[in-house]
Structure 1
Amino acid sequence: MPQQNTEEQPGIAVAIVVHEGRVLMVGRRIGEGQLSWQFPAGEVGPGETCEDAAVREVREETGLNVAPAKLLGKRAHPQTGRRMCYTACEVVGGTARIADPEELAELVWVTHGDIPQYVPHGLFEVVQEYLDAALHP
C-alpha cells in the first residue's frame, strides 16, 4: 500500500488580515449563545492554492477584498488534526461586514494587546511572530 504524501494541500486556509494596526477576527456560531473567535478561514477547494482560498474566504465571510502577502506556515491543527495553512493578507478594498450571517455572528478588528481575550490558548507560533511584528505593540 503506498504511503500518503504528508505534504498534501492543506484542507483549511486561514487568512491573517492586518489593517490599520489591528487584525480581523470573526465570531463563528458554535452553539446556542456561544461564539468561537477565529481568523477568517475555510476549506481549500479543488485546484485552489492556500493563498487563493484565504482570499476567497475573507471575501465570502466579510465582503472585504484582500490580496495574499505571504504564506506564513502550515501545520496539523493540535486539537482537530486538520491540515491548516496560514496566509498573511493585505486589504485592497471594501469594508469588513458580516457577509455570511449563517456562519458568522460578529466580526472585530483586534489590537495586539487584546488578542489573548479572543484566543486565550495562544496562536500558532508563526502567526504570533507575524502579528508581533505587523501590529507593533
Structure 2
Amino acid sequence: MEVIDQWTGQYASALQTALRLTQSEFAGQLGVARRTVAAWHERPDVVISTELQRVLDTAYERANEATKLRFVRQLQASDAAEANADSGVALTVAIAVVTKGSDVLIVCRREVDPSGITWQFPAGIVKPGAPSNAVAVRETLAETGIHCSVHTRLGRRVHPRSGVNCEYFLCEYLTGTVENRDVSENLDAIWVSRADVTRFISRDMIYPPVLRALEEVQ
C-alpha cells in the first residue's frame, strides 16, 4: 500500500483521477472549492495545508483496493513523464498492433484517453533506457494475456491529439487466450476483424502505416 507522507497537488490530483471524479465532484467530497482542486492540477508541487492533509488521508483510506491501485499507477505514470522531461526526452508510448490471421487485438479503456479514443491497441509507457519493442510485448501480455513477438517497427509520430510520442510495432500472435487482465484500466480486451477496426477506432486517429499494415492481404 502506498504511504503518503505529504499530500501535494500531484498526489491529490492522482487521487481524484483514481476515484474517477470530476474536479467539482472531488471538491464536493472534500468540502473545498472547485478552484482549489483546479489549483492542485496547475501546481503539482504545492504542499497542501495540514487540515486538508487529514481530509485527503481519510479519502484515501476509505478508497477500495482497485482505486488505490489506480492511484499508484497514476503516480508511476506521472513520475515516468517527469523523468523523461528532466532528461530532455519526451514521453514515449510503445503501441502493439497484434494480428492473428484476419483479426487484430484491441482494448477498451475505462476512461477516455486524452486523444479522445476509448478503443485502442495495447500500449505502455517507455521509461528512459527501456527498449520500446520489449515494452510493447510486455504490456500486451500484462493487459490481455496474449503472447506476441514484434514483426515490424511501423514507425513513430507525435499523436495529433495527446501530443505524446507514439512508437508502433506490428506484432505476431504466438499463444494465449485473450482476457482483460488489467480490470482497473480496461473494460474489455477482444479480437476484431481487421476490416472492422475502424468501427472501433476512428480511421483519422489510426497511424497511416498501421492502417496499411492491417489492410494488406494475408
Q: Any unmatched runs of 5+ in structure 2?
A: 1-88
Consecutive unaligned residues of structure 1, counting only runs of 5 or more, are 1-7
In the alignment of these two chains, the number of paired residues is: 126
User: Residue 111 of structure 1 corresponds to which residue in structure 2?
Assistant: 193
The reply to whether residue 27 of structure 1 matches residue 108 of structure 2 is yes
Larger RCO, structures 1/2 (Cα 8 Å, 6+ apart): 1
- Which structure is higher in strand share? 1
What secondary structure is seen at the aligned counterpart in 1 of 2:111? Answer: strand
Identity among equivalent pairs (%): 34
- Tell me how far apart the structure 2 counterparts of residues 108 and 49 of structure 1 sit (CA, whole Å): 26
| Distance (Å, rounded) in 2 between the aligned partners of 1:9 and 1:108 | 30
User: Based on CA coordinates, which of the two structures has the bigger radius of gyration?
Assistant: 2
How far apart are residue 93 of structure 1 and its match?
Answer: 1.7
- Pick one of 100, 103, 123 that aligns with 1:41: 123
**Normalised TM-score (structure 2):** 0.54
Task: State which of 36, 46, 69 in structure 1 corresponds to 2:151.
Answer: 69
Q: Is the 8 A contact 1:15 1:86 kept in 2?
A: yes
What's the TM-score, normalizing by structure 1?
A: 0.84
Inter-partner Cα distance in structure 1 for 2:91 and 2:168? 10
Structural RMSD (CA): 2.0
Higher helix share: 2
| Preserved contact between residue 10 and residue 50 of structure 1 (Cα < 8 Å) | no
SS of the counterpart of 1:30? Answer: coil
Moved over 3 A (4+): none
